[in-house]
Structure 1
Amino acid sequence: MSISESRQVLRGVGLDSGMIDDVIDDFCRRGYLDDSALAGVLVTSGVERKGQGRVALSRALAQRGIPRDVIDAALDELPDDDDERALEFARGKARSMGRLDPDTALRRLVGQLSRRGYNGAVAMKAAKSALREAAFGGPTSGVRFVDSD
């Protein structure tokens, strides 16, 4: 739990603000509550298990009542690889969209990426690349050969 969530629970059981502060201080001192550690765990989990982007991670941490400076510090620990994570997620989804027309597949994939917290440009780029790869059977090298005939 975050410190903010803990405060809410303690308010719910009827403790006054002075007692709540004492309990929170004691729990922080003992290491039972640590917003920085919680933010780190949630960021790692969001990236590894859910494939979330920075926007979704930031929103999830804020909803837990974690302070903005702690959120920023946790996100700063992430490598700057939103493009790679978005593409990896999109590749997994693109394989199942082969039966859809290209516009529908692109729209759905961009929507899925956006809901995971990737910004519009990153989502569009990843979706287009993944759908192109799926259509041609694998990652492209970026090298194109043109017939001279």
Structure 2
Amino acid sequence: MGWAQRQVEEITDLAEAEAVAKQVVYDRLAASARSRADLEQSLATKGVPAQVSADVLDRFEQAGLVDDAEFARSWVQQRQAGKGLSSRALAQELRRKGVDDEIAREALGDLDPDAEVQAAHLLVQRKLRSMSSLDDMVKTRRLVGMLARKGYAPGLAFQVVREELGAQAPPRESL
């Protein structure tokens, strides 16, 4: 049975365990950047002993291939730009990825608060295009809900929605 076929059974030969660990880490990093905690979880799933896992990940960190701070900065920029997520939602995602709270705070500190508000406005503007036939109350409820799911505070969500609904041209009255 090859190493890839092993699931959770413990690998006892240290040389084999190290080879498995290296291959798993290379494979995971080839797909995308990962946090150390994510890689540790992958190694545990493959049955790599904790000490071998720690040693291999330490060497990858020394080589600069595993860097939680760089991962967090990259994750925050990509998710904020691509999904329009708020800093609160991004902090939760980083916590789920196993990134230390201090590293997450540093990465989130690079976000411009004005850019976050601008992202909320863009999300609402984009969504409003498909809501022209709805009542303003329904629009407000749906838009605030969308922003809440993206992690925006209720006060900011209502403010952005009010501003965007106020910026919409009033409907033409029929003659």
Q: Pick the TM interval, shorter chain.
A: 0.7 to 0.9
The reply to whether residue 90 of structure 1 matches residue 113 of structure 2 is: no
Task: Give the aligned partner of residue 107 of structure 1.
Answer: 141
Question: Do the aligned residues in 2 keep the contact of 1:95 with 1:134 (CA within 8 Å)?
Answer: no
Which 4+ runs in 1 deviate beyond 2 A?
A: 134-137
Question: Do the aligned residues in 2 keep the contact of 1:91 with 1:130 (CA within 8 Å)?
Answer: yes
Q: TM-score, normalised by structure 2?
A: 0.74
Alpha-carbon offset, residue 136 of structure 1:
4.2
- The one-letter code of the counterpart of 1:75 is L
Question: Do the aligned residues in 2 keep the contact of 1:91 with 1:131 (CA within 8 Å)?
Answer: no
* Structure-to-structure mapping, 1:128-143, within 5 angstroms: 128-136=162-170
Task: Give the aligned partner of residue 63 of structure 1.
Answer: 96
Query: What secondary structure, in the 3-state scheme, does the structure 2 residue paired with 1:97 have?
Result: coil
Unmatched runs of 5 consecutive residues or more in structure 2: 1-33
* Structure-to-structure mapping, 1:111-122, within 5 angstroms: 111-122=145-156
Task: Give the aligned partner of residue 80 of structure 2.
Answer: 47
Higher relative contact order (CA 8 A, sep 6+): 1
Alpha-carbon offset, residue 83 of structure 1:
2.1
Unmatched runs of 5 consecutive residues or more in structure 1: 138-149
* Of 2, 10, 19, the match for 2:52: 19
Question: Do the aligned residues in 2 keep the contact of 1:43 with 1:75 (CA within 8 Å)?
Answer: yes
- Distance in 2 (CA, whole Å) between partners of 1:45 and 1:33 is 18
Question: Do the aligned residues in 2 keep the contact of 1:39 with 1:70 (CA within 8 Å)?
Answer: yes
Query: What secondary structure, in the 3-state scheme, does the structure 2 residue paired with 1:135 have?
Result: coil
Q: Deviations over 1:53-74 (max 9, x none)?
A: 1111111111111111111000
Question: Do the aligned residues in 2 keep the contact of 1:94 with 1:134 (CA within 8 Å)?
Answer: no
Q: TM-score, normalised by structure 1?
A: 0.86
- CA RMSD between the two structures: 1.4
Task: Give the aligned partner of residue 141 of structure 1.
Answer: none
Task: Give the aligned partner of residue 142 of structure 1.
Answer: none
Alpha-carbon offset, residue 18 of structure 1:
1.3
- Distance in 2 (CA, whole Å) between partners of 1:136 and 1:48 is 31
